[in-house]
Structure 1
Amino acid sequence: MAQDGQTFKAGLEDVVANTSEICFVDGKEGRLIYRGYDIHDLVKGGSTFEEVIYLLWHGELPTASQLAELTQSIATQRALAPEVLQFLRSVRKDANAMEVLRTAVSVAGIYDPDNGDESMEANVRKATRLVAQVPTIVTTFERLRQGLEPVTPDPSLGMAASFFYLLNGEKPDDFVERAFNIALILHADHELNASTFSARVTAATLSDIYSAITSAVGTLKGPLHGGANEQVMRMLLEIGDVSKAEAFIDQALAEKRKIMGFGHRVYRTEDPRATHLRQLSREAGERAGETKWFEMSQIIERIVKEKKGLNPNVDFYSASLYYKIGLPVHLFTPVFASSRISGWTAHVLEQYRNNRLIRPRAEYVGPTNRTYVPLPERN
């Protein structure tokens, strides 16, 4: 039953739910814009992930001194509270990494030094800790599940290099650092995607920022949102060889199986993030002397375009890139969270600055005017 003449749209497709100055997805032109800056310009201009974090939070690119201050602030707050580390040590080693991250974020909120202070200044400090510590949570649990001790953060490293150092205990080479920095930028924000929307809904109740981010992590865990590149890589691993790729995809399409990593709810052209990830995937394979994952991806892209008219999205080439730079497949979604925490926090801060409770309506399709029958009279 529609309310007030409004038209129901499944999944809220194309429904404008709020205003924002943070990110614009131009689906028609295939552009992704952060605070007015095209991501192509940010990537080609050599931006660091920290620079993009500042842009998303404050609306302007930082000066050298502002960037240095934020970079230092993030770098010096990567260490986890003892209680968070204790929690990670206590978790069963076969636990889902996103479930662990979801709960660890909640635990971190309890022990945040600014817990209970909901001023904007305190929330910016909390956002800084979240951006700094989400990658530490992800990498620390991965080491613990392998029977290894956590690595002490190195404050001299930027976000991209720090992730690999915390994961492997070694600094990455220049290509891996550059490629991962670009990937972090490309995944930083994407307008009102499902996890960002859930974060804003939680923040709109004036719940704390850790609760909002916990909501976002729980939403990202869903395979229709955050797990697609993991499924892409598992498909590539199942195919196994370039010579088998065409037959595999032809059969999958004939059986009407969904090929992950293609199509998008908003973009009607190629996902602009895929443009950079395709090139990085190629470079990663060439540098390693093993291009089969990229070659298989090219074959799959060609066939799906020809037969389904679908373009690759951000998940498709990020899969083979992440695999070739040494990221475990089961960490692909937590890596997504380690980037998107920048956008989530930006949206939560924006929600707090101009808050209105988010309370949409539902189209009721059940019965009306039923007659109540007392319990003794029911058959």
Structure 2
Amino acid sequence: MSKNNGFSPGLEGIVAAETELSHVDGLKGELIIAGFPLARLAANATFEETTFLLWNGRLPTQTELDKFKQELADYRPLPPVTLNLLHEAAKANSTPMDALRMAAATLDLGNSDAAHHTTAKIIVARVATIVANYHCLQQGKAPIAPNPSLGHAANFLYMLTGDVPSNARVRGLETYLNTVVDHGLNASTFAARVIVATQSDLVSAIAGAIGALKGPLHGGAPGPALDTVFEIGSAERAEAVLQAKLDAGERLMGFGHRVYKVRDPRAEVLGAAAEKMFRADGDMALYELAKSVEETAVRLLAIHKPGRNLQTNVEFYTALLLHGLGLDTDIFTPTFAVGRTAGWLAHCFEQIEYGRLIRPQSRYTGTLDRAWMPLEER
């Protein structure tokens, strides 16, 4: 059915919420986070500052920031039952997103009566621990306990390897987490708002959001974008390999976006962050190769699909940056969740304040006035 008679498939074009958290303009290639242009916030703030900003509408003072960091550090250790669940999930070879989805339901164990902001801090702190601990278990290693002296991003990298990361790597991850923290009313954010709008609890809302993110049409697949770079191997091969993919009707991963009709502003920010990180503590040859592949892909797409303006999206530089940080492909999406959880919770706070149930209408398209047929006559 068409939109003309009141039906919009997938609620496309329907405004379902007002928010002060983020503004997305796909035509301009603009992303505003709580009033800050993405590039200004992502490259400068710590993840704790960004989270505080989204939850409180302003940046913290030094005293407030120190207190907030300490609270997150205090909540990082997982309850024994959560660790036991992760051990069992690893034995069953569950995917990291499945493990996160299951473990998320236990996030407030022992704190179910806590105030909303306390529960939110527990959730943000422990989602990162779940992802890192489960990665260790999948590698056949014991989970690494959180380091309370490290900030949120640095501690996440520490729990993955046991090594205190360099400042360059911490800044790279901080920028990534800030970049993906919120992005309008996407599927997982909408799921969280729908759940909390029923006056359900924050943990249920975040578990639902994780379930939505797990779907490939939302969470995406940053890994394949980097696979193409590795397949090409050298800048001289970029044009031939990419042209062959286009001739075969393949999609070039990491290019084009449903919302952005120009270059994804998140790709701009993450590209700059990747260059800075690789230059300070990484393989610049890989970065230069990725840049060459990007330039060639954009040029060929303009020729092969004129008028589409298919530009670099967030997946391309997400893959490069997270690979440069030493993360395996299978925890790219869970790491996205580490950042986005803060945004989900901010939307939950807005929805709680709004205090209205989300209840769209549906239109019945089935048959009418059926005659009942007894069982013996069917």
TM-score, normalised with respect to structure 1? 0.91
CA distance in 2, matches of 1:141, 1:324: 20
Q: Compare 12-21 and 95-104 and name the one that shifted more.
A: 12-21
**AA aligned opposite 2:350:** E
Q: Paired residue for 2:182? A: 189
How far apart are 1:26 and its partner, in Å? 2.1
Worse-superposed segment, 20-29 or 284-293? 284-293
Distance 1:153 1:237 in 2: 33
The 10-residue stretch of structure 1 (290-299 or 367-376) with the greater mean CA deviation from structure 2: 367-376
In the other structure, the counterpart of 2:75 is 77
Q: Which residue, 269, 285, 299 being the options, matches 2:296?
A: 299
Aligned residue in 2 for 1:346: 346
C-alpha distance in structure 2 between counterparts of 1:66 and 1:243, whole Å:
52
Find the counterpart in structure 1 of residue 239 from structure 2. 246
Q: Provide the C-alpha distance between the structure 1 equivalents of 2:203 and 2:296, rounded to a whole number of angstroms.
A: 43
Instruction: Please name the residue that 1:358 is paired with.
Output: 358
Counterpart for residue 156 of structure 1: 149
Mapped contact 1:285–1:293 kept (Cα < 8 A): no
Q: Give the secondary-structure state (helix, strand or coil) at the position aligned to 1:304.
A: helix
Deviations 1:60-100 (A, max 9, x none): 11112111111111122111111111111122353200000
**Cα distance between partner residues in 1 of 2:188 and 2:110:** 22
For residues 310 and 363 of structure 2, what CA distance do their matches in structure 1 show? Answer: 31
Contact 1:77 1:132 in 2 (8 A): yes
Give the CA deviation at 1:199.
Answer: 0.8
The aligned residue for residue 42 of structure 1 is: 41
Quote the residue 2:18 is aligned against: 19
Does the alignment pair 1:290 with 2:296? no
**Distance in 2 of aligned mates of 1:251 and 1:371:** 58
- Percent of paired sites with the same residue: 41
1:235-273 CA distance string (max 9 Å, x none):
333444434332332232223323332222322322211
Tell me, yes or no, if the aligned pair for 1:294 and 1:320 is still in contact at 8 Å.
no
Contact in 2 for aligned 1:297/1:317 (Cα 8 Å): no
Q: Distance in 2 between matches of 1:23 and 1:112?
A: 33
2:225 aligned partner: 232
Query: Aligned in 2, Cα 1:71/1:367: closer, same or farther, shift over 3 Å?
Result: same
Q: Distance in 1 between the 2:77 and 2:186 partners?
A: 29
- Specify whether residues 203 and 303 from structure 1 end up closer, same or farther in structure 2 by C-alpha distance, changes over 3 A only: same
Letter in structure 2 aligned against 1:163: F
CA pair 35-283 structure 1, distance change in 2 beyond 3 A = closer
Aligned pairs for 1:271-282 within 5 A: 271-282=264-275
Residue from 117, 121, 129 that aligns with 1:124:
117
User: CA shift at 1:285, angstroms?
Assistant: 4.4
Q: Equivalent residue of 1:33, what SS?
A: strand
Specify whether residues 318 and 2 from structure 1 end up closer, same or farther in structure 2 by C-alpha distance, changes over 3 A only.
closer
Q: String of CA shifts for 1:119-150, please: whole Å, max 9, x gaps.
A: xxx11101101111111100001111112112
Q: 1:235 to 1:344 in 2, by over 3 A?
A: same
1:298–1:331 distance in 2 versus 1, CA, 3 Å: farther
3-state SS, counterpart of residue 217 of structure 2: coil
Q: CA deviation at 1:305?
A: 4.1
Shift of 1:2: 8.3
Q: Distance in 2 between matches of 1:169 and 1:300?
A: 38
What is the match of residue 60 of structure 1? 58
What is the TM-score normalised by the length of structure 2?
0.91
1:76 is paired with a residue of what secondary structure?
helix
Aligned with 2:23: secondary structure?
strand
* Aligned residue number for residue 312 of structure 2: 312
Q: 1:323 to 1:298 in 2, by over 3 A?
A: farther
How far did 1:183 drift?
A: 0.6
Distance 1:59 1:260 in 2: 36
SS at match of 1:207: coil
Output one character per residue of 1:301-353: Cα deviation in whole Å (capped at 9) or x when no partner: 33234433211121121111211221111110011000001101111122112
Tell me whether 331-340 or 27-36 shows the greater mean CA deviation.
27-36
**Distance across 2 between alignment mates of 1:245 and 1:274:** 20
Q: Sort the Cα spacing of 1:112 and 1:347 in 2 relative to 1 into closer, same or farther, 3 A.
A: farther
- Please give the secondary structure, in 2, of the residue aligned with 1:24: strand
Distance 2:276 2:40 in 1: 20
User: CA-to-partner distance for each residue in 1:27-83, whole Å, 9 max, x for gaps?
Assistant: 232221122221122135x21111110011111111121111111111221111111
User: Unpaired runs of 5+ in structure 2?
Assistant: none
Residues 102-113 of structure 1 mapped to structure 2, 5 A cutoff: 102-109=101-108, 111-113=109-111
Unaligned runs of 5+ in 1: none
Deviations 1:139-180 (A, max 9, x none): 001111112112221111111111110101011112111111
CA contact (8 A) 1:112 1:126 kept: no
1:142 matched residue in structure 2: 135
SS in 1 for 2:200: coil
CA distance in structure 2 between the aligned counterparts of 1:325 and 1:132, rounded to whole angstroms: 20
Determine if contact 1:88/1:104 at 8 Å carries over to the other structure.
yes
Aligned residues: 370
